[in-house]
Structure formats: structure tokens, C-alpha cells
Amino acid sequence: MVKILQLFTNESQLVKALQQGDAKAQRHLYDKYSARFLAVCVRYVGDSMEAEDVMIEGFMKIFERIGQYRGEGSFEGWMRRLMTNEALMYLRSRRQIEVELDAPEAQKAANVEWADAALDASELLTIVAKLPTGYRTVFNLYAIEGYSHAEIAEQLGITESTSKSQLHRARGLLQEMLQSLETGSRNVGNY
Amino acid sequence: MKKNPIDDLFSRKLREAELTPRAEAWEKLQMRQQTKQRRAVWIQWGPWLAAAGVSLLLIAGWLSWKDEAVSPTNTQMAQNTTKNPSVNSLSKPVQNQAVDIEFNKRQVVVQVEGKSVVAESKNNIENEQQVIQTTAPQIAQTMPQVVQEAKPSVESGLPTVETTTAVAQATPSVEPKPTEKKVVLQLPDLTEMERVASTMTPNESVTTSTELEADFLNKPRKTSKMAKVWQQLKNAKSGEKVDWDEVGFNPNKLIAKATGKKETNEK
């Protein structure tokens, strides 16, 4: 095992082994990135079981298309894009990306500094998973992956203004959920 | 441009977030990979396998069709051979070497290792008759016993035997002369055969035997329905007359029936 790990310390060596269809290299890649990519899939899909299926499909795409990776740019970024595309394809196949315009607006700004300190990633993941699919997708693509509204509009087949409004509403909902978490924990603290 | 605090919070916390998958996930991934590989193999080789199967079927069909097409010619050739007198002339040297006994025109064909040896049997045989026949030494060595079948024949006025089975016994090569061999023809009891033959008149036997032969020659070969239809299709292609009875239906009759029905309906 130590020998295998030593073999793939260098990323280019790992990529080369993957391109040759090396099963050990595939396992190594899975062990290294599966947890991270499962979190990505849960962010988009919401349900952890379905997200696991999407992640498996995403890894299969990575193993299939590894020959297309030319070493330009980050390898992890390339894999993450494949994972994101897989999740979006899954949502499209389920026709879950619908535009929701009548979601409630956030009334009060949440205390983001408190949330930053008190909440860990898993809690934030749970909050994001509660968002409606359309909001969640746009928020993930814009706020976390860093896509522009034009790119999101092209990828999801919606207009830029729709993308913007979806993001705005997603932010509002997240703020509300953070506030409810904040008040809940404060009440618990008072008792 | 300053980033939205909500976006910033979620981006920082979730970008590198990790959730450990279940242990079964890797096994699931492997199983799916294997299934995909198998499918890929089928996609790659499937058309070739299908093509190979189809070509095998075509070859088998063509071979069987060829056999069916060739077999009538073969039977015809075989008939010609039996009728052809040149076969006798081919075996004349052997015939000439045979010890001269009074022979009639009956001929007995003995098949030994693919060589045909013509022996002539005497007609006026009594109970047992010994025929000394000269044969090639190698024949005698390899085949000590030769079963001969005598062709039925009729001679006018004389009582004849319809089917005579003669057993030729070749003695082992004890004699100093290797070129000569004694063949003893042991014929069945003639009295018994005469009794059987007497029940049938010569004329009748001739006619029955000739009829049987003609029947055998003229009897249509048993062919499959498909072969018949194929034959008629070939006839139609070459502009020859099509035997619709062979095909199983007559389109002219069908059309006539259909038009007749139409007419009756109109009436």
C-alpha cells in the first residue's frame, strides 16, 4: 500500500496511470477525492443517496475521459467540472431545474459573522439542500463554483435575468434559514 | 467587487467540504464499470459476430441448396454408368483371363476395393458349380470372401432364377502361381430356387423388374417445399414454364377467384 501511495504522489504520474486504465490508480483517485466530490453532488442533488449514485457516475466519466485531460489547468478543477456536469445532467433528466419566482424574500439580514463561527460545513450543506432545486443550482454555480450569470444561463437554458433573480431569492432563503438557526441556538443557550 | 457575505460564507465553508461515501459505493462503481466494459465489448464485436453468424447461415444454406441441385445429376450419371456398355469393355482384360466355361450373357459385377471385376456365371448350373476365375493376386489377398450378386435375367424357354446370390470364396494364396486364384461360387439350392421361380412366369418377372426400374428412374426426387418453389422461381427467371402446382398456389386462379367474387358482389 505504501508502495502504491509512493507511486502516485506526483499528480502527473497518477494521471498517466489512469490514462493506462490502471485499477490501482483508479482506486487511489477514488480514495482521495470521493468525499469531496460526494459533498459537491449533495450540494446539487440534495439527497445523499442519489448524490452517491451521481458521484459514482461522475467517477466513471472521469475514468472514461481521462485521455482528454491534457494537463492544462488544475486536474481537480477538471474533475470537479465533470462532477458538476454529471449532477446537472441528473437534475435535467429528472426535470428538477424549474424556475421558481414566488419564493418569499428575506426580511432581515442574517448575522453572517455568527454563522461563520458557529456552523460547520455539514450544517451548511443541510441548509443548501433545503433550497428549491432551481435556486440551489444557480446559487451553487454562481456563489461556490464561480460561474457568471451568462454561463449559468447558457448551461441551464434560462435567461441571465432569471439566473440573477434565482440567485437573489436563493440568498434570501439562505439568510432566513441562518436566522432561524441563530434564534434557535440562542434560545437553547438561554435555557 | 466585494463578494456577498452569504456567498462568501457558503463558498468558503462548502468548497472544500467532504462527506465520506459508504463503503459499498466503490463496489458499486466497479460493478458498473464491468457492466459497461461488457456492453462496450458487445457493441464492438456484436455486429461482427452477427455478420459471421449470418454468413455461416448463408454458406450452410448455399451448401444444402447446392447438394439438392447436384443430386439429380448424380443419379442420372449413375444410371448412365449402369447402362453404359463401356463399363464392360473396361473390365474385359479380367474377363479374358477367366477360365473358359460356357457362359451366357449374364454378368456379375464384383466390387473389390473400388475395382470392378466382371465375372460371368453359367446359366445351366446344377446344384453346385465351381467356377475358376482368375483375378489379380492383391484382390485375392485382401478379400478372401466376395459376395456376388447376380442380375436377374431370363432366357427364353429355360427355367430361370430371378435373383441369384452367389458367394465367391477365394482360397488363400497357397498356390505357387500368384497370378491365378480359385474362386468357388457356392450357389444356393437350385431346386428351391426353381420352385420359387416356377410360381412366376418369365414374362411377368421381366415386366415387373423393368417396371420397377422405370419407376425408380422416373420417380420424382423428394425435395423440400422451399426447393420446389426455388426451382419454379428459377424457371420464371429463365423464361421457362412455371409449374404452379409445385409452388402450391396459382396466382391466375387466385385473381380469377377474387375478380369473380367482386363481380358477384357487384351483382
Do B4 and A116 make contact, defined as CB atoms within 8 angstroms? no
State which H helix or E strand residue B69 sits in.
helix B24-83
For the stretch A100-121, pLDDT in tens is 555 555 555 666 666 666 788 8
Average pLDDT over residues B157-168: 46
Residues A77 and A134 in one domain: no
Average pLDDT over residues B112-136: 45
Residues A10 and A47 in one domain: yes
Confidence of residue A138 (pLDDT cuts 50, 70, 90): very high
Residue A182 CB partners (closer than 8 Å, separation 6+)? A110, A111, A114, A115, A118
A99 in a structural domain: no
Residue whose C-alpha is closest to residue B14's, from A39, A24, A49, A58:
A39
Nearest chain B residue to A173, by CA: B6
Return the SS3 of B148. strand
Cell numbers representing residue A185 in the block: 441556538
Q: For residue B4, which residues of chain A lie inside 8 Å, CB to CB?
A: 143, 171
Which of the given ranges, A8-22, A113-127, B99-113, has the highest pLDDT on average? Answer: A8-22
Residue B90 predicted with pLDDT over 50: no
Mean pLDDT of the residues in chain B: 64
Residues A142 and A84 in one domain: no
Confidence of residue B47 (pLDDT cuts 50, 70, 90): confident
What's the CA dihedral at B193, B195, B199, B205 to 10 degrees? Answer: 20
Question: In the prediction, which pLDDT does B233 show?
Answer: 85
Do B13 and A63 make contact, defined as CB atoms within 8 angstroms? no
d(CA B118, CA B108): 6
Confidence of residue B208 (pLDDT cuts 50, 70, 90): low
Higher-confidence residue: A95 or B254? B254
Residues A10 and A76 in one domain: yes
Question: In the prediction, which pLDDT does A147 show?
Answer: 93
Average pLDDT over residues A60-87: 92
Residue A170 predicted with pLDDT over 90: yes
> How many interchain CB pairs under 8 A, A with B?
88
Higher-confidence residue: B183 or B148? B183
Looking at residue B257, its amino acid is K
Asked which of A70-74, B48-52, B208-212, B232-236 is least confident by mean pLDDT, the reply is B208-212
d(CA B189, CA B142): 28
Residues A6 and A87 in one domain: yes
Residues A46 and A124 in one domain: no
Residues A175 and A138 in one domain: yes
Q: The cell 426447393 sits on which residue? A: B227
For residues A84 and A44, is the Cβ–Cβ distance under 8 A?
yes
A16 in a structural domain: yes
Residues A8 and A83 in one domain: yes
Question: Rg of chain A's alpha carbons, rounded to an integer?
Answer: 19
Residues A6 and A89 in one domain: yes
Confidence of residue B113 (pLDDT cuts 50, 70, 90): very low
Confidence of residue B187 (pLDDT cuts 50, 70, 90): low
Cell numbers representing residue B112 in the block: 473389390
Confidence of residue B165 (pLDDT cuts 50, 70, 90): very low
φ/ψ (deg, to 5) at B110:
-110, 125
CATH number assigned to the domain comprising residue A178: 1.10.10.10
Question: In the prediction, which pLDDT does B132 show?
Answer: 43
Do A36 and B18 make contact, defined as CB atoms within 8 angstroms? yes
Question: In the prediction, which pLDDT does A104 show?
Answer: 54
Residues A54 and A132 in one domain: no
Residues A132 and A78 in one domain: no
Nearest chain A residue to B14, by CA: A121
Asked which of A39-43, A119-123, B23-27, B52-56 is least confident by mean pLDDT, the reply is A119-123
Taking phi first (over 0 means left), then psi (-120 to 50 degrees means alpha), and beta for anything else, what does residue A157 get? left
Mutate which of A52, A54, A131 to disrupt the B interface (most B C-beta within 10 Å)?
Answer: A52
- Of A58, A93, A128, the residue that ends a domain is A93
Instruction: Name the domain count of chain A.
Output: 2
Residues A8 and A79 in one domain: yes
What percentage of chain B reaches a pLDDT higher than 90?
A: 9
Range of the domain at A70: 2-93
Average pLDDT over residues A131-136: 92
Return the SS3 of B115. strand
Residue A87 predicted with pLDDT over 90: yes
A105 in a structural domain: no
For residues B151 and B106, is the Cβ–Cβ distance under 8 A?
yes
For residues B125 and B188, is the Cβ–Cβ distance under 8 A?
no
Residue whose C-alpha is closest to residue B260's, from A54, A39, A165, B252:
B252
A13 in a structural domain: yes
What percentage of chain A reaches a pLDDT higher than 70?
A: 80
